[in-house]
Amino acid sequence: MADVIVTLKCVLASPDINVKESTEKIRKEVENFGARILGITTEEVAFGIKAILPRFAMDENLGNYDALEDAIRDLDEVSSIETIQVSRAMG
């Protein structure tokens, strides 16, 4: 059995959004999906807007993570989401 390691880039809608609160909301969505958080970082995008980059591991038997992306995209704070990296970890 293998895990899939995924990193998403969740761009916030405004520079006025509380990054810490948004990070916790994204963390909860990932955990509710059944994945394990490996780490979460933030980065500057432009004009004070930040992106939250959750990195998580999920069992490959869960299939795709479209439902997770949709749940995060539905958060009011998130303006866009994209997959940055996907890899398969054996072990």
pLDDT tens per residue across all 91 residues of the chain: 689 999 999 999 999 999 999 999 999 999 999 999 999 999 999 999 999 999 999 999 888 899 999 999 999 999 999 999 999 987 6
In this structure, are residues 41 and 54 in contact, taking their beta carbons and an 8 Å threshold? no
Domains detected in the chain? 2-90 (3.30.70.60)
**Cα–Cα distance measured from residue 39 to residue 47, given in angstroms and rounded to the nearest whole number:** 25
Write the burial class of residue 19 (CB in 10 Å: 0-12 exposed, 13-18 middle, 19+ buried): middle
Instruction: Give the predicted TM-score (pTM) of the model.
Output: 0.93
> What is the dihedral sign for C-alpha 31, 86, 91, 59?
positive
